[in-house]
Structures are given as structure tokens and as C-alpha cells.
Amino acid sequence: MKLTTRLQLSAMMFFQYFIWGAFFPPMGIYMEEILGPDAKEAIGDTFANVWIGAIISPFFVGMVADRYFSAQKVLGVFNLAIAGILYWISQCNDVSQFKTGILIWSILFMPTMALSNSVAFHQTTDKSKDFPTLRVLGTIGWIVAGFVVSGYIKDRMLFLIPAIVAFGMGIFSFFLPDTPASKTGKASLWQILGLDALVLLKDRSYLTFFIGSVLVCIPLSFYYSYTGTFLDKMGVEGITMKMGFLGQGSEVIFMLLMPLFFIRLGVKKMLLAGMVAWVLRYLFFRFGIEGGHWLIYIGLVLHGICYDFFFVTGQIYTDQKASESIKSAAQGLITFATYGVGLTIGSKLSGLVANHYANDTAAGYDWASLWLVPAAIAGAVLLLFALVFRENKSKA
């Protein structure tokens, strides 16, 4: 890979995740502060709206990126639209309007996850080696975003800053390396919508991975929806900086080490290690309530293993399994499973669980009981996946 191409793709990943990381971790805190007391019961539903776009994204990607337009051009158009909706969200004063704005943002943003992956994979040869070194810049972008917005988590600048970055990303995307449509000729509606990637599910190993991805994202949603609020109630200062430095900082380290882990562990052991880390993370949160912030911080550090060993491994595994004609749609499919179905279900469930354990104390929730729920779910999925999944390297 040429140096100029690597720099372009690295910048793409940096801005891609900066936009999301700027407002996402402290969004629950922002809602309670800016939108009033009614926002507390709406946090779970709002985070669920974040993931609905991921359910729709495979259709966007399959319709435009695999067949009609270059992926980088579609990425540019979507980011310009994202800039507009983030500005609108920053002006919302009503919970219902805010939830609607987040839903529209999700529908626009989630397809860009698969598109940026597709652009990056198209330019790489040794994907298990090259992709993590590109994707790590996304994590760095998330960390930098946390530092940039650290003083604005209860201010409308929380959304204005990523709006500005999204506008710049939109312009920049048109100058990325060309990732042309890989299909030509007549197509059925099934193919246009990107549903031909469903052929991957005929492979038993990939079907097991797909179902496991959906299930394991249910406990993950508890982390996304309530960790920021939890840290705030525990009296932790500099929340976005600590979540970025400890959580995403460890993600950087483990992502850079991923090529070595791939050689030694393989796909199945990588996925299982990520699941084990999720169980431990919630247990550290639970016992950190009485044991001190240092246990909570260890839970944050485990995010690197949680995310890299499952999500990034899953993206590489998906690219390995997909034939050239469905690679963009295949990335949309795994986005559908994880950020879409799994996290939508999980966010709805986390909202119900959190509302069940909500109270009128200064802590706001019975956190000890709340964190045991995702720990138990993650443990059950870990056991099921360990027993059922068998790695198969053939392409679909």
C-alpha cells in the first residue's frame, strides 16, 4: 500500500469515529441535563434509535455501493447530510424531537460504517495485517473526540463539534482512493438491496457467528447506554477523557497487536476472548461500587479486548468469507447483525432493566443489581458460542 493511500485511509477512519465518539458516550448525561427529568426514562429508547439505522444500512450499501456508485462518493454524500442533522439535534429542546433526530442521524451514519470498511478493505492485500493498522486510527479519533468535548458534555457544543467535523469528512471523502461498484449488468431487487450477501448464512460456521454477534451485542448495549451515567453518579471526573483514554486507549494497543494474536489464536479463540472480557467488565463495574474507582477503571480498560477481539475480528472474518462481488454488502450484513439487531434489542432491554432498578437516591439506580444482568447474559452467550462455533475458512 502506498504511503499516500495509507494516510488517506487513516484520516478517513479517524474522522469516521471522531464524529460518533464526540457525543455518544455522554449522551445520556446530556439528555438529563438539557432535556429535563422526562429524559431519564427515554435514555434506553434513544440509544435503541441509534442502532435502528444499522438495520437499514445493508440495504443502502447493497443498493448503491456494490452496484451503482463508488463507495467513497456515497460516503461523502452521507457525511454532508450527517452534518446537517447533527446541527438540528443541537437545537432540540424536546425529548421526542431529540429521539427523532438521533434516529435520522443513525439512518445516515450507520451505512458509513460499512462504507468506510469497504473502502479500506478494497485497498489492502494482507487484510488481517493491514486493516487493524488502519482501523486503529478510528479508535484514536474516538479518544481525541473525548478530549475535545470534555468540557461540553452538558452543552449543545457536544453536537455542534461533530457536525463541523462531519462536514469536513463529507468533502474529504470525495478525494479518497476510488472504490468502484463491483457489480454490473441487470440485477434483481434482491441483489440491488444487497440481500445476496445472505448467501454467507448458508455456511454453518458463519451462521453461528452471525447469531452469536446478535446475541453478544445485547449485553454490550448496557455499556453504551449507561456507563457514562454510571461514572457520573460514582463521582468520576473527566468522564469522556477517562472513557477515551482507558477504554479506547486499550483498544489502540490491542488493535496494533491483533496481527500477532491472529497468528497465534485464530478466529474462534479471538472471539471467545472478547466475550470473556465482556463478562469481566461488568463484574468489575459491579464490585467497583464498593471496592473503589480502580476496579471500575479496570472495567474500562477491558473495552479494548471487548471491542477489538470481537468486532474487528468479525469484520475481518466477514471479509475473508465473502466473495469479491458481495464484500460491501457483507460488511453491511455484519453491521446489521451487531449495530442493528443486537444493539437495538439490547438498548430496549437495558432501558427496561434500568427503569426497573431506578430509584430516588443520589445514585439514580441500583447499579449493583443492574450490572449483574449484562454480566449474566454475556456469560450465557459465551458458553453457547464456545460449544457451537466451528471455524470454516471457505468462501461463500
DSSP 228-252: HHHHHHTT-SSHHHHIIIIIIHHHH
For range 72-98, the mean pLDDT = 94
d(C-alpha 164, C-alpha 156), whole Å = 13
What's the chain's average pLDDT?
86
In-domain check, residue 396: no
So what's the pLDDT on residue 328? 67
So what's the pLDDT on residue 57? 63
| CA atoms within 13 Å, Cβ hemisphere of 241 | 8
Instruction: Report which of residues 259 and 162 the model is more confident about.
Output: 162
| Residue 192 predicted with pLDDT over 60 | no
| Residue 315 predicted with pLDDT over 90 | no
Per-residue pLDDT tens digits for 323-343: 877 776 787 778 778 888 888
d(C-alpha 254, C-alpha 252), whole Å = 6
Contact predicate 338/213, CB 8 Å = yes
Instruction: Report which of residues 228 and 15 the model is more confident about.
Output: 15
In-domain check, residue 24: yes
In-domain check, residue 394: no
So what's the pLDDT on residue 317? 84
Distances (CA, A) of 311 to 53, 125, 154, 212, 267: 18, 20, 30, 12, 11
So what's the pLDDT on residue 129? 74
In-domain check, residue 285: yes
Contact predicate 192/183, CB 8 Å = no
In-domain check, residue 46: yes
Contact predicate 60/340, CB 8 Å = no
In-domain check, residue 393: no
Domain that holds residue 201: 3-177+191-388
For range 299-304, the mean pLDDT = 90
For range 35-57, the mean pLDDT = 81
pLDDT band, residue 19 (cuts 50/70/90): very high
In-domain check, residue 23: yes
Q: Where are the alpha helices (DSSP H) in the chain?
A: 3-23, 27-34, 43-60, 71-90, 95-122, 127-148, 157-173, 189-192, 204-233, 239-242, 249-291, 293-301, 303-307, 313-321, 327-335, 343-356, 367-388
CA 223 to chain centre: 12
What percentage of the chain exceeds 70 in pLDDT?
91
So what's the pLDDT on residue 362? 87
12-26, 132-146, 298-312 — most confident range: 12-26
| Residue 66 predicted with pLDDT over 60 | no
Per-residue pLDDT tens digits for 370-388: 999 999 999 999 998 899 8
Q: What is the DSSP letter of 200?
A: G
| Residue 165 predicted with pLDDT over 70 | yes
Say what the alpha-carbon torsion angle 342, 347, 353, 356 is, to the nearest 10 degrees: -150
Domain count, the chain: 1
Q: What is the DSSP letter of 322?
A: S
So what's the pLDDT on residue 382? 92
For range 58-87, the mean pLDDT = 80
So what's the pLDDT on residue 53? 72
Per-residue pLDDT tens digits for 95-139: 999 999 999 999 899 888 878 887 888 888 776 678 778 888 988
In-domain check, residue 185: no
Residue with cell 457514562: 228
So what's the pLDDT on residue 371? 97
For range 299-311, the mean pLDDT = 86
Q: CA triplet 229, 232, 234: central angle to 5 degrees?
A: 110
CATH number, domain with residue 246: 1.20.1250.20
So what's the pLDDT on residue 354? 92
